[in-house]
Structures are given as C-alpha cells and as structure tokens.
C-alpha cells in the first residue's frame, strides 16, 4: 500500500469512528420502529423493560437488567453470587420477528473474573440482547415520549431531575402510564447506584428501564424497588460505571452507546399525551 493510500485509509477509518452511531446507521423512523427503548423483553417468561440501544461491528443490541435473567428469587440481588441463565439464552423482544440473544451479563462477567468489590457486586446490573439480523431494520434508539438519549451522563445531586419510560405488564398496556419524571434522592455504593423517586414509582416489570437526566443523557438502569430512604423509590444502577466495567472485563470493549434520533423534550405531560 502506498503512503497516500494508507493515509486515505486512515482518514476514512477516523471519520467513520468519529460519526455518532445514530448517524452512522440508518435507523428506522421513530414513528415506525417496533423495537426501541422501553419495549418489553421476556427471558424464559420473566418480563422486564429494555433501556437503551447499543452497537458495534458485530451487531445491534438492546439493554436490559442482568437480574432479568437471574434464576434465583427476588431476594437474590448480589450479582457476584446469584444464579443466572447462560450466555446464548434466547430473549423475546416485543416488536421483533425473532428472539434476540443474551450476549452479555454483568452478573456472569463478575463471577467469571472473581469480582470482590461489594459495590459492584450489589449494583452492577446490565445485560445486552443482540437483536436478530432480520430485525435490525426495525430498530430506533429514541426513548418514547421524551426523545433522546443525548449520550451517557451523570445523575447529578439531590433533587436533580430524572426521566424514564417503564413498561410493566402490570400497567395492562396503558402506555400513558409509562412516562415518568422524578428526582434523585441520594447516591450510594460509591456512585454505583442512585435512589430516585418518581411519579409514578417503578413497579415489577419496569426492571431494566433506562433513566435520563435533565439534559437527556442516559444515567442508569432500573435495578431495585426500594423501601428506604423512601418507600416507593427505586434504585438505578449507574450506566457509565456499568459500561466501563463491561468494556474492561468482557469481549464487548467496542460496544458504543447510541444516541436517539429525536430531540430530548423534558416534558412529562407532553410525553404522556404523545404516547
């Protein structure tokens, strides 16, 4: 290869790498996409809510909570010791024609590397579902109602605004009950988790749903229903920490977070009416 050809090749790779994933791939129009953040996912019958869209050279992924593929009871929340279904488990994705595949679980990864950090064990709760190739054209990364996400960001301090879209079966398909707005109550576990209070609170089946801050940046994944510090508050695992752990300890170091194609609108009433 000549020096000129090598330079052209380097520039081409650099330009592609600099393009945000939401621009690099032609996503389905948000109004027509059947697979997007907030769709219900079912792992061996257990229903959860998906959070955000991710991609790399190997495919397109939908996030869910790692505990959604857990094999223990609801009290088994330590990812370093709790049982989990294996990588390769099929996951039914609402809106997709074929099951997706569980390809990453923070629980299984922590157990494989012998993780001993109690904060990571308690709060690192992220999994990835690879979308079947036949369904990639049905995907849009925008959050229903609110738009965004605008990237990955920080939760902020006490009283900071948060926005989410839960999709539990307990809501009986009433989409106007899915958009939620709330505030950060406190952070714990050395920043691995954030307690949030929303109206309405998350309920079983909302597990795994994504949370955004007041700027539309993704901050976390709904992991636990809390009794303290406030009954009805929820524990949200820190997405930035979860992604950093995945990239450092698994074969998914190249997975990128995908920005939404729709602008973020921090308007709960508008999200409810537009749902």
Q: Is residue 2 scored above 60 in pLDDT?
A: no
Tell me, what's the pLDDT at 37? Answer: 98
Give 64: exposed, middle or buried? Use CB within 10 Å, 0-12, 13-18, 19+. buried
Average pLDDT, the chain: 88
**pLDDT (0 to 100) of residue 18:** 35
Over range 97-109, report the average pLDDT: 98
Sign of the alpha-carbon dihedral angle for 5, 256, 42, 173: negative
Residue 233: the pLDDT is: 84
Q: Pairing relation of β-strands 46-49 and 53-56?
A: unpaired
Residues 177, 199 contacting (CB under 8 angstroms): no
Q: What is the mean pLDDT of residues 163-183?
A: 83
Cβ proximity of 131 and 93 under 8 Å: yes
pLDDT of residue 13: 34
pTM of the complete model: 0.88
CB atoms inside a 10 Å sphere around CB 2: 7
Q: Which numeric CATH code is attached to 35-138?
A: 2.40.10
Q: How many residues does the chain have?
A: 275
Domain boundaries, the chain: 35-138
pLDDT at position 35: 98
Above 80 in pLDDT, residue 231? no
């Amino acid at each position: 290869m000549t020096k000129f050809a090598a330079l052209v090749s380097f520039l081409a790779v650099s330009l592609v790498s600099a393009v945000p994933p939401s621009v690099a791939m032609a996503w389905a129009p948000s109004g027509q996409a059947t697979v997007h953040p907030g769709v219900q996912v079912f792992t061996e019958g257990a229903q959860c809510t998906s959070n955000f869209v991710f991609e790399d050279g190997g495919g397109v992924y939908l996030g869910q909570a790692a505990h959604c593929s857990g094999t223990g009871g609801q009290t088994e929340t330590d990812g370093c010791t709790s049982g989990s279904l294996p990588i390769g488990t099929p996951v039914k994705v609402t809106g997709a024609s074929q099951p997706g595949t569980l390809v990453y679980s923070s629980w299984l990864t922590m157990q494989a590397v012998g993780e001993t950090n109690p904060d990571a064990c308690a709060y690192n709760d992220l999994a990835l579902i690879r979308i079947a190739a036949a369904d990639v054209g049905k995907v849009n990364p925008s959050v229903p109602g609110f738009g965004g996400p605008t990237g990955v960001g920080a939760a902020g301090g006490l009283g900071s605004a948060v926005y989410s879209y839960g999709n539990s079966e307990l809501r009986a398909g009433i989409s106007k009950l899915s958009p939620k707005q709330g505030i950060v109550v406190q952070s714990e576990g050395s920043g691995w988790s954030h307690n949030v209070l929303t109206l309405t609170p998350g309920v079983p089946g909302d597990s795994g749903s994504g949370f955004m801050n007041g700027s539309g940046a993704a901050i976390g994944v709904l992991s636990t229903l809390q009794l303290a510090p406030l009954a009805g508050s929820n524990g949200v695992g820190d997405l930035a920490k979860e992604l950093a752990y995945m990239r450092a300890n698994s074969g998914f170091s190249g997975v990128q977070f995908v920005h939404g194609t729709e602008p973020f609108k921090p308007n709960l009433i508008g999200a409810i009416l537009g749902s």
